[in-house]
Amino acid sequence: MEAALVGALLGAVNRAEIVCHCAKLGASRPNNEAMLRPLPTRVVPVDAVLSYEASMLRPLTLPGGLSLGERSCLALAKREGVPALMAKRLWPGIAAAASRST
């Protein structure tokens, strides 16, 4: 996992999801910041184009129940031409289909 993180892109929406999950478990903002700061990733903001791309994936990803954050991850990976990594069982098939969509 560590090797996959070096130089990886992390969408701002996905970073927010990580923080939300940790906050739900009781982590404070300083604890979240201390945990995320050393990660060797680049946080990518959501712009208008990326928001449209993620939204247009909704019909394709509906059967898999993907969230907006997951669709944002797919849209970012597609835009940057890099693989999307996630721990869901359905992810590889959906990611492949999304990378072919327009």
36-57 pLDDT, tens per residue?
A: 999 999 999 999 999 999 999 9
Name the β-bridge partners of 42: 9
- Average model confidence (pLDDT) for the chain? 87
Res 64: pLDDT: 81
Please give the DSSP secondary-structure letter assigned to residue 40. Answer: -
Provide the pLDDT confidence category of residue 5 given band limits of 50, 70 and 90: confident
- Examine the pLDDT at 7 and tell me if it is beyond 60: yes
Res 15: pLDDT: 94
Q: Which of 16-20, 23-27, 60-64, 79-83 has the lowest mean pLDDT?
A: 60-64
DSSP 64-98: GT--HHHHHHHHHHHHHT-----S-TTHHHHHHHH
Phi-psi region of 23 (alpha: psi -120 to 50; beta: other; left: phi over 0): alpha
What is the rounded distance in angstroms from the CA atom of residue 89 to the CA atom of residue 79? 23
Res 48: pLDDT: 97
- Examine the pLDDT at 21 and tell me if it is beyond 90: yes
Please give the DSSP secondary-structure letter assigned to residue 99. Answer: H
Res 85: pLDDT: 82
Residue 94: name the closest of 21, 70, 102 by CA: 70
Give the global pTM: 0.79
